[in-house]
Amino acid sequence: MFRTPSPFFLLHRSTQRPPCTPIPRLTRTIVTKITPLRPSTISFTPMGLTPPARAAVGGTGLGVTARLMPKISANPGLVGLQVRCGPRDTYNPSHRVRKRRLGFLARKRTPGGRGVLKRRRLKGRKSLTH
């Protein structure tokens, strides 16, 4: 019922995608707070201790490190200013902005918002939205 894979299949499969092995990083990460809600991480790498780039198996010329750890920015001066997937300063106490972002019509427009309204109705909330 089960077939053993042929050597050609194994060779073809290994040249398609290099194995994902974790690359040891010799960096220190310092967390600083630029603003109260947006922490930034700045990594310092000691000179001469960076791991060498490994060649890709497919012969594309790109190292494994280039694909596993893409650069955020080409300019090293901007590294501390860019935060990916961090909390955003989206709350604005302005009445119009609050209604536009968190109001009933905004909740009705998206499937996630409709789910919020449904859960709040089931829970018996007096006020569904702002």
Cα–Cα dist 98/111, whole Å = 19
What is residue 85's predicted lDDT score, i.e. its pLDDT?
72
H helix or E strand, kind and range, residue 98 = helix 95-102
| Distance, C-alpha 116 to centroid of its chain | 25
Statement: residue 105 has pLDDT above 80: yes
Statement: residue 110 has pLDDT above 90: yes
Cβ atoms 62, 56 nearer than 8 A: yes
Could you give the domains of the chain? 23-81 (no CATH), 91-130 (1.10.287.3980)
For the question of whether the overall pTM of this predicted structure is more than 0.85, the answer is: no
What is residue 92's predicted lDDT score, i.e. its pLDDT?
81
